[in-house]
Structure 1
Amino acid sequence: MQNMLLNDGRSMPQLGMGTYQIADAQVAAVVRQGIDLGYRLVDTAALYHNERGVGEGWKSSDTFLTTKLWNDRHGDAEAALDESLALLGTDAVDLYLIHWPSPAEDRYVQAWRSLIQLRDAGKARSIGVSNFLPEHLDRLREETGVVPVVNQIELHPYFQQREARAYHEAHGIVTQSWSPIGQGKTLLSDEAIGRIAAKHGRSAAQVVIAWHLHHGLSVIPKAADPEHLADNLAAAELMLDEEDVAAIDALDRADGRIGPDPRSF
């Protein structure tokens, strides 16, 4: 499993498993299956309401663990993290993210200052953000002097976020893709993706995940059964050629966003 160097000197597996919309009662078994297959990064969030199950599946492993601060807790991040840690059954997480900037509330800088303190206290070994735009990242950097190690954003071949990726690269921030295969069958049934999958004898999902990895992105596809977990993990072995990458690069769309706009959410 390829690791990525973070700007705080720590490292993080490039490919992990997402757990969004996997029920708390089910997710422990899914996480255990993923770890047994070879995953070494598990991503959850307070919003997902499955931290207890994730913690049960994750415990006694050496797997990198991420959780996130929800929008209504920007004013009391320490209490929110303590609640997450209690559910996860651990004293610290490897990565703690502010889930959304919620700019209308304008408390994300306050939340970021709290995350810096939580990192210094050892409750979060690394700290980052999710769904932040360059304008939000600029404020964090200018007002605190601390740059997030990761920005986890919606990113897939129909919504490639090139401006954000360029900003992240310029400032030493790892880009981590959520919804990496587009949350549905439309992308996976795309003709270009299908041609590349047939050419390599691989699944469409593996082709898309391999595209993320080729571009140096961290990626956390969700899967809820052993077959899809194994399929996603095997994407790390697929090497796309220049023609493949160019064909997928050409799929970017102006209207490709699936999730909310961080400016208004």
Structure 2
Amino acid sequence: LLCAIGMEPPINAHADAIRDEKLKVLRSLKPWTTESLSSDVVRGQYAAGMSMGTPVPGYREEKGVDPHSNTETFVALRTEIANWRWAGVPFYIRTGKRLAGRDARIVVNFRPTPHAIFRSGANAGNQLVINLQPKDGLELHLLAQGQDMRGAKASNALAPVQLDLDFAKRFGSERVGAYERLLLDVIDGRLNLFVRSDEQEEAWRWVEPLIKHWAGDPQGPRLYACGTWGPSASSAMIARDGFCWDEEN
């Protein structure tokens, strides 16, 4: 998903052209340092809590799990793509198990305008949300001037407006499931959605310092209760840059 957002437009729609651009993103990821491994990564493990109103055990109490296991069930991290387009732009990734919801989405926050000529109660830029699960679609959050019943501008103040495209409603009869799509691509020999070996190797090259750091970390993963959005340290990490996770906004 990070590559899909950060890649440059490919020269054509062929699989290798797309995967070449994704590979460039992986090679441009900012290398980990001792400092960033400690400050820009939060790993967690779920403890006992509530899920859908039902008490559930912690990871170490699950059947077949070592009661002293330090296996992570949550990761949040901050990274950057070190190229001309994305230099200085933070990318945040978060994933985990037993969270408050089974949502998958990409949130793109656009820079606020450098000079606002309209009054606005919200000090934020526009936002694009790409929903992947449980429903897929697009949301565009804008600030727009309000109107009265006759269509005239009610004031010069800006108010939040949301444009919502639900793929299931718009393309319901024309769509296939995610796994069906992959199987059809395999049958037809389309490789656009599949990872090439050099992509895998480059991704592992970037991830390996994380794994080595965790192996020597005596603290282990931070605990978080089932039914929450992970350790509070993940909120503190993103707050350092003046941002917050989507559900905290």
TM-score by length of 2: 0.25
The higher radius of gyration belongs to 2
Higher strand fraction (1 or 2): 2
TM-score by length of 1: 0.24
